[in-house]
Structures are given as structure tokens and as C-alpha cells.
Chains A and B, each alone.
Chain A
Amino acid sequence: MSGKSLGLVFFPAFDWAITPAHPEREERLLYTRDQIVEEGLLDLPNIKEFRPRLARLQDAERVHIGVPGLAQLITDAHLVSAGGAITAAEAVMRREVHSAFALVRPPGHHAMRVVHGTRGFCTINIEAVMVEYLRRHYGLNRVAVVDTDVHHGDGTQDVFYHDPDTLFISLHQDGRTLYPGTGAMSELGSPGAFGATVNIPLPPGTTDQGLHVVLDQLVLPMLEDFKPDMIINSAGQDNHYSDPLANMAITAQGYARLTEKLGADIAVLEGGYAIEDALPYVNTGIILAMAGLDYSRVVEPDIARCPRQSETNTRYIAKLVAEWQDIWRRRDELKREAVAKAGDLWQRRRNIYYDDSGIQEQQQETVRQCPFCQGYQTVATQADSRAGGSRSAFAAIIPRQSCGVCRRQAQAAVHNAKQDGRHDHYYLQDKEQDTLEEI
């Protein structure tokens, strides 16, 4: 028996769905439950099952600014899912287990800092809530989040886009061919956190072979360079060859080997919608790999269906890897250039679409490039819903370990905005004080 112990928070939320026929519905983890219970995985001496705790609203508001308020936008299921990730993380932090897997739903990696509704099945970002919880309660600092969901982890990217202490690596099917459309190589983090966002858009049809080239030649060396205190895997499983929402060709073996190589401290389930043909096998593979057990016998019944990688893709991936290796090698120099170019204030405007809620959001984000801290940020947001309503807000965010200047300027920014009165709501998120208040 392996000496690696694994904590498992299994929370299939059998009584929660977005809508009855939505891919994110009650039975999404039903067949996974059947498989892991049938395998007897929960009876293995080195696997310990934990009951998820309920995250508090404050845990979620440490990350998110909900408009008009997060409480109105979420259900209890979201707090259990985020709480499940926290439970898994705490089991690792307290050294009760070597690593942990939060096999929970609903997922979270498309939920951004500002939340007007549900997008990509996500309302709150459960990994981000977990990371910020660990920072607040366990003093964790450097974190790497490796997102292996087939979709770009745009929410997690957004939450950490200005944070140089969080290395966010997303492997995904190229955004030109799949929701949410983002995740190009050029999205590298705002200047102060340049290179802490790594996007690796893979061509449709990428197989285990291509995935492991990227892992071996890019992701693992990056992790080695970054030296995180903790590695988190956003373990989406929709890269599987049978997934109905995407076009990749990864197998359960491919996922299990990835899990073994990555050696994440915590894995958190994200997407994966081949609920019957892929999830039972992929999850079994991941659990065995994390527990240090033999996963070589986990093979899908229809494995013959899985395509081989095309020559074109192999060449494309080799080129992509070479380009990224070059950027990574020059990242310090590129960062200096980006900071110099941005000057005191860095700004961007974006349109964000909430597919599950039918909301179109316009956002203007401003970051003060501060030489003494991460720099405060402001966000002006306006959301127009399909139903016709419109809602706007202005928020200022004071980072952890903020300097006095940023703190005062952030407070002034939100009060000035309120005096101007162009928005419906005004928020101050103070990460130092761990508060979110409506002004």
C-alpha cells in the first residue's frame, strides 16, 4: 500500500442543478459516485473522506464583488462547493493528508472578481475563494494554480491578474474555437504581475501525447522556476475525448499521468460533462494517482474511439512550446518593459458575457502601478441583462500588504465616484482588513 494519503471531499450536490437538462445538473457526478463507491476507493486505508464545510459569505466576498450583492446571486450549493475546496485545503495545511481532491460541484473557474450572475456554469470561484482563505488563515503566500480544464480559466485569471504571487497556468482548447474565447498567449498578467499568467491554447484534437509534451517541457519547468508554496490543480475533465462540449482527445490515463507528474497539493474539480463515459474513469484515475496507487488498469471501455494526434497538431504544439519557452526565459526583461510602458496607471476595458444569466457586462479596470505594493485597483462595471434591466457599480480594491498611499487613494476613488453619482452601487473591498462594504 502506498504511503501517500489522500483526502477526498466528495460532494456531488445530488439536489442542485442550474436547470433540469443543463449539463451542470443533479446527476453530473452520479456515475462518478457509482464508480468510486464500487471500486471501494473510500475504504482504502490511505484515502480519507471529508464532509465539506459551508463557506461563509465573507470567504466568498474576500474574492468577489457581487452586484447588487453576492448573497442575492448564489445558492447554498455554491457555499458548500467552495467550503468543500476549503475543507480539502485545510486537511492538507494541517498535514492530516499529503494531498486532497475536492470532487465537488458546482464549479467555479469562470467566475470573475465582479459577479453579476452565472457564467460558464460558475457563480463564485471556488479555487480563488480557497486560495484567499489559505492566505488569510494560514499565511500562505506563493501559489501556483494549474488549470487543466478544457476551457480557459478566465475567472481565475481575472481574480489573480494583478497578483505576482499567484502563478496561474491555463491549458485549454484554443479560445478561437471554444467558450469563453479568451486565453491567448498574449494575456500575460497586468504589468505588475507580468508573466504570472500563463496561457497555453492548444489546438482541437490534442491528445495525451501533446498534453504531456506541454507538461514536461513547459509547465513543470515553470513550476520549478516559480517555486510555489502550494500547487493547486483546477482539475477540469472536459479535455476528454468523449466530452460533448469540447474537441480534445485526452484519456483517463492521460489525466492520471498528468496528475502524477503535477503532484498538486490540492485538486479541485472544475468542468467535465461526459458524465457517463469519461468522469467515472477520469476521476478514478486521478484519485488513484493522487493516492500513489497503480492506475494502469483504469481504461475507458470505448478507448478505441480516441483519435490519434495529427502531424499538424504535433508540429503546432512544438512551435507553441518553443515560443512560450522564449517568453518565459525573457519574462523579467519583458516585465520591465511592460511596467515602463504602463506608467502610473494601467487600464483596460472589456466586455464580459454571462451565458447562463444572459447578461452583457462592460468593465473598465484601472490599476495603480505602485512601487511599494501591488497597487490598488478600481473597476467600473455596467451590466445589461437580456430581460432589459441595467445595473452599474464602481468598486475600489485595496490589496494585501497595501501601502498607505494606495489605501488612501483607493478610499478616495470610491468616495469621489459616489459623489459623481454615475453608478447604482459603490463598493470598497479591503483585502488588508478582510472586508467588503457598500459605500
Chain B
Amino acid sequence: MLLGIDVGGTFTDAVIIADGRIMASGKTPTTHSALLNGIVTALDKVLAGLDASRIKRVALSTTIVTNALIEGTTDKAALLLMAGPGLNLTGLVPASPYFLSGYTDHRGREQAAPDRTEVAAACRELSGTAVAAVAGKFAVRNPLQEQLVAGWVAEELNPACISLGAQVSGSLNYLRRINSAYYNAAVWRIFSRFAAAMETALTERGLIAPVYILKADGGTLPLAAAKARPVEAVFTGPAASVLGIMALAAPAGPAVSLDIGGTTTDIALWQHGVPLLAPGGAAVNGYPTAIRSFWLRSVGIGGDSYVRRENGSLAVGPMRRGPAMSNGGTEPAVADALRVAGLIDYGNPALARQAMASVAADGQTPEDAAWATLRVATGVVSRTIRAMLTEQAEKPVYKVEDIIAGEVYQPELVIGVGGAALGLAPLVAEQLELPWQVPPGYMVANAVGAASARSTTEITLRADTAQGFYTVPELGIKRPVDKKNFTLQQAWAAAAVHLGERAAAGGMAEAAAHSERIYEEEFNVIRGFTTIGKIMTCRLQATPGVLMPVRVREAGV
């Protein structure tokens, strides 16, 4: 049995899944000030009458990191950078950085050595700072300088956590790695405290199963590993719903998914059974980071979106003024329109008509006003989807073949989950002229997603045979290779070994069993007119996804 918990903005959901079926589910209001209380209540609801020791796995999607960032309750981290030549980073990163000497170039060659006395001086100034981040430009091409400086910082400053840029992400993009490493350190204490409290609460209930935390890219991390990389637990709510769709609907072809909640709709695009990832990574507090994340757009349209007339025309959202009138609220909302249009069958129909009458134009019936409201609401969603499709079509490519033969992305299905999905998803699909589907279980898709998410991790191996070494930045590895005989095939083989190591170190050894090649690049290094070596890049990941499809007997569990 798998236990999934999703802490949402409004509700905390918990589900128990056995043999691909939902056994129990529970919903309780999210307790923002003391997050754990709501989680424990939801937990106790689904565990009622169950032997907790039968739970084999617990997975949690929590807003702890996201909230701490939004509310600004994170720590101020010391930020030490070896920036080398290039962009002046002042003002582009979330703290005022200490610029240190020493740098590595694009081939991973040390061009200047770091200076210990400089690091000592910086640490004296930073004395008392609890957490730190160290990042060097091109450290993904050679992580040694970063490790050396981090070692010095550990001795001089002794912070509780030091994040290293190249370990947070193995991809090029210094700016994003700095920001990721910074936020990773900044949320470390808050996450660690939460994780410890969570562990205690689970143990008290006799839960002995391993605990996983959901990541923004839909993978999970064992709680222990998440303590080292807590920033990856940001934006997990939308990721949970996307995984829920994977478990409940398993779209094989290109599709658009909508998670339609009370105040917002989260939109994702799907290809080959998985959602597209955000290029580069997620943005945190407006700063681009390297945190892998689904490519999601959120629009302010949901069942509770406030409906009113502005300068004569109907306006919907993005704000919420409490629940719809049909559900006991005081202001008209989208759910009232859905009720009057006959698209949902809950809520008070008379109050819904009253709500729609209050926004109707002269001579307009409540029914007309309801349909007009829904056209406005779905128009906002459809426009955003079209904008995403345009953006996807204009995504830069770097090969001639991709321009000439690149396939055009065209979704073939609209999938809706979340509270207002049955009402709104078909209307959006109609505007896009696509078929639609609202899978059974759509009300608890998030918790299903959390429960069934597979563990995932990735590694980047880059070999430079002209120089005779390869690096795996996420593991801090730099190793020699045979300059003459190292092949791309060997690079992939080494990558598979390192993926296994990383997975095992993170407590998810089984994850590496399903892996996929997500990037490959091979270039000759030429001096004069002679090939003197090759530069190869291999990126391998434990395939993200769900442990199994989840079936629900009827819609609206």
C-alpha cells in the first residue's frame, strides 16, 4: 500500500493506493501557520482502521519550501562566487556575493587558482552566517575548485549547510546554478526542521515505510536525500497534479492538461506520455534557477473566480472572493455559472441563478449570463494554451535538421483534473476543437500523483578526450580517460554506472533500473587540420513517472 499526501493551497489531501486502486482518501483544510497539523489530520483520516505497518511507501508533496520563499522566512546565505571573466553578476543574484579569485574555463581547465587568505577574510566578515553557497563558473566542467573552496569555507565559517553549484545541477548555466545553490542553502534549516517533525509524526503512527518528497519535475527524493537538496521540493503542488494525470489518464499522444482548482488553472503540455519541462529550470522569487520543473502556466481562472461587470463587460478572475454564492458565498463566481449552465450538479441552484442575474446585462437571462461568463473564463485559458503552443513552436534549435524536419507540436487531447474540471475542461476543449477527458479520480489527482510518483535522479557525464578526463559534476567527480580509445559508447556505460551510484547514495537504488538517455552531444576537437580528440556529453536520468496506473471505479471519488 502506498500513501500519498498533497498539501495544497486550500486543502490537504491524503490517499492510500493498493494494487493500483484508491483504497481511501481524506481531505482536510490546509493549516498554513502550522503545516504539520493539517498533514497529521489528513493522515489520521485515511489511516483510520488500517494497520499502518502495511504502508510500504509514503510520498509527500508539500508547500513548506514554496511558502518559506514566498513569505521570506528563509535564511540569508553566504554566497561565495568564482565568477571568472564575463557577466557582472551584481544585482542579478538574490544576495550580495563575495567575488573570489580563481576560475575554470569552458574546457574545465583551471585558469587561475583560488586564494585561501581571500576566503578566510570573506568568512571573517560573514561570521555567524548559518548557511553558505559556493559556485564557480564552469564548475560543471571541473568541480575541483568549488570543492576546494567549500572545504575552506567549512573550516573557516563552519556553516550548518554548504551548497555547491555543480552539485545542485550538472548543466551549464552559472547564473541558474548560483541561484539554485543560494536558495538551497537558504531553505535548508526550515526544511530540515519540517522533515524531522514529519518523521516523528509518522513514527508515532507506526509508519515504518520509507518517506519520499516530491520534486518539481515529478520525481521523488528520499527524505534523507531531500535534506541535502531541499530546494528541489519547491513547486511540488502542480507537479503532483501532473503525476496524478499520468497515473489516472496516461496520455500517450500530445495533450494539454488542466488542473482546475478553486482560484487557478495550471496548464501543462504533454508529449510521448510525459509533460514538457521548463527550459532551463524553474524561477524562484523571480530568479531563474536550474531546478528541473514541469513547464506550467498558471492562470487566475477556477471555480471560485470572482465574476463581475467592469465598464459594461463581464470580467472573471483572477481574484477570488470566497466560495461561489451557490456554495454559501456572497459574490458571484464561476461555479455559479457552471451550476446555472447545468454543467455541474452541486450547490444551490436558486442562489446560483441569483448570482448570474446580478451580473446579467439588460435583457440577458441568468442562463445567457452564465454562458457568457464561461466563454470569458475559458477564453482566458484557451488564449494561454495557444500562447504556450506558439512559444513551443518558436523554441530555439541549434541544428539545420531540426529546422527543416522539426515536427510541429499539436495537442490531440485535453485532460482536466481538479474540482471544476468536469465543468470547465470540456468548454476549453471545445474552443480548441479537441476531444477531452476527465479521468475518474480527478478530485484527488494531486494526492494520487504524490502517492504513485517514481524516484528519479539524473547525471551528466562530459568527456574531453583531448584533455583526457571526464567529469560528473553532480557527484563531484573528475576522472582520467584513455585519450585515444575512449568512445561515446564507453561514456554511456560510465554514465550508467554513475547514475546507479547517485541513485544508491540517495537511497533509491531501484530507480536506476529504468533509465533513459535525455541528451547526447559529440564534437571533434581539431588542431590545425587534425582531430586530436572528442568532446562528448551524455545526460542520463532515472525515468520519472508513476509506479503504476491508478484506476478508480467512477468519476468523482
Contact = CB atoms under 8 A, between A and B. Distances in A.
Interface of A: 1, 10-16, 20-21, 25-27, 30-31, 33-35, 37-44, 49-52, 54, 75-77, 80, 276, 280-281, 284, 288, 293-294, 296-301
20 contacts: A10-B396, A20-B531, A26-B523, A27-B524, A31-B107, A38-B138, A38-B172, A38-B173, A39-B87, A40-B174, A40-B175, A40-B176, A40-B288, A43-B288, A50-B396, A52-B403, A76-B403, A76-B404, A80-B403, A276-B106
Nearest to B90: A294
Interface string B71-86: 0000000000001011
B401 to A, nearest CB: 6
B400 interface: yes
Contact of B399 (A14, A35, A44, A281): A14
- Which residue, B138, B395, B523, B530, has most C-beta atoms of chain A within 10 A? B523
A30 B534 CA distance: 12
Contact of A14 (B105, B174, B398): B398
- Which residue, B87, B174, B401, B403, has most C-beta atoms of chain A within 10 A? B87
Given A25-B524, A43-B288, 11 more contacts: A10-B396, A27-B524, A37-B173, A38-B106, A38-B137, A40-B174, A49-B396, A276-B106, A294-B87, A297-B86, A299-B85
Given A26-B523, A54-B403, A21 B530 contact: yes
Nearest to B395: A51
A26 to B, nearest CB: 6
B86 A13 contact: no
B195 to A, nearest CB: 31
A330 B280 CA distance: 56
Interface in B93-141: 105-107, 111-112, 137-138
A30 B523 contact: yes
B73 to A, nearest CB: 26
B50 interface: no
B519 interface: no
A292 to B, nearest CB: 12
B526 interface: yes
B400 A298 contact: no
A281 B400 contact: no
Contacts of B535: 27, 30
Given A43-B280, A301-B105, A13 B85 contact: no
Contacts of A10: 396, 398
Interface string B148-186: 000000000000000000000000111110000000000
B397 interface: yes
B446 to A, nearest CB: 29
B404 A39 contact: no
Contact of B174 (A20, A39, A49, A280): A39
Given A31-B106, A40-B175, A301-B105, A15 B85 contact: no
A80 B400 contact: yes
A62 B535 CA distance: 40
B87 A288 contact: yes
Contacts of B106: 31, 34-35, 38, 276, 280
Contacts of B399: 13-15
Contact of B85 (A21, A37, A40, A300): A300
B526 A297 contact: no
Contacts of A294: 87-88
Interface residues of B, number: 40
Contact of B526 (A25, A51, A75): A25
Interface of B: 83, 85-88, 91-92, 105-107, 111-112, 137-138, 172-176, 280, 288, 394-401, 403-404, 521, 523-526, 529-531, 535
A246 to B, nearest CB: 16
Contacts of A26: 523-524
A311 B531 CA distance: 40
B189 to A, nearest CB: 27
B398 A76 contact: no
Given A30-B523, A31-B106, A54-B403, A39 B86 contact: yes
B106 to A, nearest CB: 4
Given A34-B172, A54-B403, A77-B400, A40 B87 contact: yes
Contacts of B87: 39-41, 284, 288, 293-294, 297
Q: Which 10 A-B pairs have the closest CB atoms?
A: A40-B175, A294-B88, A301-B111, A21-B529, A27-B523, A43-B288, A34-B106, A15-B399, A38-B172, A37-B172
Contacts, number: 113
Contacts of B112: 301
A288 B400 CA distance: 27
A43 B523 contact: no
Contact of A43 (B91, B175, B398): B175
Given A51-B395, A77-B400, A276-B107, A39 B526 contact: no
B111 A20 contact: no
A301 B531 contact: no
A217 B176 CA distance: 42
A13 B400 contact: yes
B405 to A, nearest CB: 10
Contacts of A1: 91
A21 B106 CA distance: 21
A80 B395 CA distance: 15
A281 B85 contact: yes
A51 B531 contact: no
Nearest to A49: B396
A74 to B, nearest CB: 12
B175 to A, nearest CB: 3
A2 B107 CA distance: 31
A299 B84 CA distance: 9
A30 B288 CA distance: 23
A111 B241 CA distance: 55
Given A37-B173, A38-B173, A284-B87, A16 B105 contact: no
Contacts of B400: 13, 15-16, 75-77, 80
Contacts of A50: 394, 396
Given A21-B531, A38-B106, A51 B397 contact: yes
Contacts of B524: 20, 25-27
A309 B401 CA distance: 45
A419 to B, nearest CB: 41
A27 B535 CA distance: 10
A300 B106 CA distance: 12
Contacts of B288: 40, 43
Nearest to A54: B403
Nearest to A303: B85
B285 to A, nearest CB: 14
- Which residue, A43, A49, A276, A284, has most C-beta atoms of chain B within 10 A? A43
Contacts of A299: 85
A22 to B, nearest CB: 8
Contacts of A43: 173, 175-176, 280, 288
A386 to B, nearest CB: 19
Contacts of B395: 51
Contact of A40 (B111, B173, B398, B531): B173
Contacts of B88: 293-294, 296-297
Contacts of B403: 51-52, 54, 76, 80
B139 to A, nearest CB: 10
Contacts of A51: 394-397, 403
B172 A11 contact: no
Contacts of B398: 10-14, 33
Contacts of A76: 400, 403-404
Nearest to B399: A15
Contacts of A300: 85
Contacts of A15: 399-401
Contacts of A34: 106, 172
Contacts of B107: 31, 276
A31 B107 CA distance: 8
- Which residue, A10, A16, A42, has most C-beta atoms of chain B within 10 A? A42
A34 B397 CA distance: 15
Contacts of A11: 396, 398
